Amino acid sequence: MTASEHDFRQPLDRAHAAALDWLRSLESRPVPFSATADDILAELPATVQQEPLDPTAVVDELVRVVEPGLMAIPSGRFFGWVMGGSLPAALASDWLVSAWDQNTGLRFATPAMAAIEEAAGRWLLDLLALPATADVGFTTGATMANFVGIVAGRDRVLQRQGWSVAADGLAGAPRVAVLTGAEVHFSVELALRNAGLGAPMRIAVDAEGRMRPDALAAALAEVEGPAIVCLQAGNIHSGAFDPMTECIAAAREHGAWVHVDGAFGLWAAASPALRDHVAGLELADSWATDAHKTLNVPYDCGIAVVADTAALRAAFGGRTSYLIQLDDAPSDPFERVPELSRRARGVPVFAALRQLGRSGVVALVDRLASTARALAEQIGALPGVEVLNEVVFTQVCLAFGDDDRTQRVTRALIADGAVWMSGSRWQDRDILRISVSNWSTDVDDVATAVAAVRRAMAAADAAPAASVAP
């Protein structure tokens, strides 16, 4: 017996209604949650109940229990970390991905999903001006996309030394030197750790966190064996971009593999106004970006791009007796990512690109950057506020005098709830960081944010530190 539409109708209708309620609430609800994870856990039975429940009741309970613990991340007033919201076509198509339930590993078995993802991959290469012959894999996020590029690079540079990681592992292999900027994203370090490469050599950066090409060249001159250079397009604090052309030239001189972490910044390549920041980007070997940040598809979706398709396939591909693989076809979806079975993550990317079109992608990226500039100008004009970075992309770092006052303003802002911005530390100072990543953030949200920061400063100055709610 196959389950019938009848089994699904009521739970899906309830989920649909609850989703619309949630989306409607984003307009006015406070951005922060009002219940913690422990509060919500306390509402739940410690062990699963003995008897089955009606599926609709399960959906209703879930909606009720989670409500106070939801952060309004998809709201236009959310400026925390680098998160993004969901474009309507992306969200709707993500629902269908669940309903279709296609295990998107094989071209032969799930041809529709493979085709949609291949089309989306080609469009991405074109929009981001990356080599048209590169392979594209859809991962859970940029952490795994970084892992894909780094593993493909590791295996290739070792293979050039006559060492096969696939056959012999890493023990006894020549040491692969990995060089990153001093402000490398934590996820690159995680990927390196899990790829068996250990901690990177950190190369000096300038005041905006950009790798210094002279320092990279000097460090590479000391390296004897194989090397991987990890560059960054989009520093999470300043938004700045490593100088691609110069750094890649230094890496090439040494024969190093070049990987670019462009989780949100790679999208600058799509904009004629911003493209200069990443000039030379296409000369790298592999790139990682997110679709769940700048492109505004629902969590989760990252994108791994590797120019050396043979290296990618050697790292993640394979042949078995039970998987049906077509000869003479492009590589199978599973050969471009660490997962064998997975959902069709590329479908919401396809839908987002189709909704936006080329002009919509450019307008989205340009609007995120111009909104960040507007926030920096308007908040920076308030008395006692310093903008610490050159606002070249979507990130703004603010300080409100000394660390203590910045912390008090940050706590007051989060307690206020009209907007969310993240506290962080950069250039040896506590800061309040803004990221503009949501397609729906508009001038009203900018005005709301400026007013909220103004209120937070007043609250921080009126109250002694201890009486401001966390």
Among 14, 77, 154, 185, binds ligand PLP (CB under 6 A): 185
**Any idea which residue has 């396939």 for tokens?**
313
Residue 143 in contact with ligand PLP, rule: CB under 6 A: yes
Nearer residue to ligand PLP within complex by CB, 284 or 409: 284
Nearer residue to ligand PLP within complex by CB, 264 or 334: 264
Where does this chain touch ligand PLP (CB under 6 A) — which range of 258-266, 323-331, 397-405, 413-421? 258-266
Residue 270 in contact with ligand PLP, rule: CB under 6 A: no
Q: Work out how close the CB of 63 gets to ligand PLP at its nearest, in angstroms, rounded to a whole number.
A: 26
Residue 84 in contact with ligand PLP, rule: CB under 6 A: no
Nearer residue to ligand PLP within complex by CB, 156 or 293: 293
Q: What tokens were used for 337?
A: 């990512």
Q: Work out how close the CB of 181 gets to ligand PLP at its nearest, in angstroms, rounded to a whole number.
A: 11
Among 234, 298, 333, 348, binds ligand PLP (CB under 6 A): 234
Residue nearest to ligand PLP (CB): 141
Q: Work out how close the CB of 372 gets to ligand PLP at its nearest, in angstroms, rounded to a whole number.
A: 14
Query: Is-contact 264 106, C-beta < 8 A?
Result: no
Nearer residue to ligand PLP within complex by CB, 117 or 261: 261
Among 135, 285, 290, 332, binds ligand PLP (CB under 6 A): 290
Query: Is-contact 397 387, C-beta < 8 A?
Result: yes
Residue 148 in contact with ligand PLP, rule: CB under 6 A: no
Where does this chain touch ligand PLP (CB under 6 A) — which range of 67-75, 104-112, 250-258, 259-267? 259-267
Q: Work out how close the CB of 95 gets to ligand PLP at its nearest, in angstroms, rounded to a whole number.
A: 21
Among 263, 284, 311, 449, binds ligand PLP (CB under 6 A): 263
Interface with ligand PLP in residues 15-74 (CB under 6 A): none
Q: How many Å apart are CA 424 and CA 432, to the nearest integer?
A: 6
The candidate with the shortest Cα–Cα distance to 70, out of 97, 39, 91, 95, is 39
Kindly report the length of the chain. 470
Residue 242 in contact with ligand PLP, rule: CB under 6 A: no
Among 124, 142, 379, 432, binds ligand PLP (CB under 6 A): 142
Among 59, 73, 82, 130, binds ligand PLP (CB under 6 A): 82
Q: Work out how close the CB of 73 gets to ligand PLP at its nearest, in angstroms, rounded to a whole number.
A: 13
Residue 268 in contact with ligand PLP, rule: CB under 6 A: no
Q: Work out how close the CB of 230 gets to ligand PLP at its nearest, in angstroms, rounded to a whole number.
A: 10
Among 79, 241, 264, 400, binds ligand PLP (CB under 6 A): 264
Residue 236 in contact with ligand PLP, rule: CB under 6 A: yes
Residue 187 in contact with ligand PLP, rule: CB under 6 A: yes
Sequence-distant (≥ 6) Cβ neighbours of residue 8 within 8 angstroms: none
Q: How many residues bind ligand PLP (CB under 6 A)?
A: 13
Nearer residue to ligand PLP within complex by CB, 409 or 436: 436
Q: Work out how close the CB of 235 gets to ligand PLP at its nearest, in angstroms, rounded to a whole number.
A: 7
The candidate with the shortest Cα–Cα distance to 117, out of 129, 100, 419, 421, is 100
Nearer residue to ligand PLP within complex by CB, 213 or 262: 262
Nearer residue to ligand PLP within complex by CB, 114 or 150: 150
Where does this chain touch ligand PLP (CB under 6 A) — which range of 141-149, 220-228, 351-359, 416-424? 141-149
Among 135, 155, 183, 261, binds ligand PLP (CB under 6 A): 261
Please state the three-class secondary structure of the chain as a single string: CCCCHHHHHHHHHHHHHHHHHHHHHCCCCCCCCCCCHHHHHHCCCCCCCCCCCCHHHHHHHHHHHHHHHCCCCCCCCECCCCCCCCCHHHHHHHHHHHHHCCCCCCCCCCHHHHHHHHHHHHHHHHHCCCCCCCEEEEECCHHHHHHHHHHHHHHHHHHCCCCCHHHHCCCCCCCCEEEEECCCCHHHHHHHHHCCCCCCEEECECCCCCECHHHHHHHHHHCCCCEEEEEEECCCCCCCECCHHHHHHHHHHHCCEEEEECCCHHHHHHCCCCHHHHCCHHHCCEEEEECCCCCCCCCCCEEEEECCHHHHHHHHCCCCCCCCCCCCCCCCHHHHCCCCCCCCCHHHHHHHHHHHHHHHHHHHHHHHHHHHHHHHHHHHCCCCCEECCCCCCCEEEEECCCHHHHHHHHHHHHHHCCCECEEEEECCEEEEEEECCCCCCCHHHHHHHHHHHHHHHHHHHHCCHHHCCC
Q: Work out how close the CB of 188 gets to ligand PLP at its nearest, in angstroms, rounded to a whole number.
A: 7
Question: Binding residues for ligand PLP, per CB under 6 A?
Answer: 82, 141-143, 185, 187, 234, 236, 261, 263-264, 290, 302
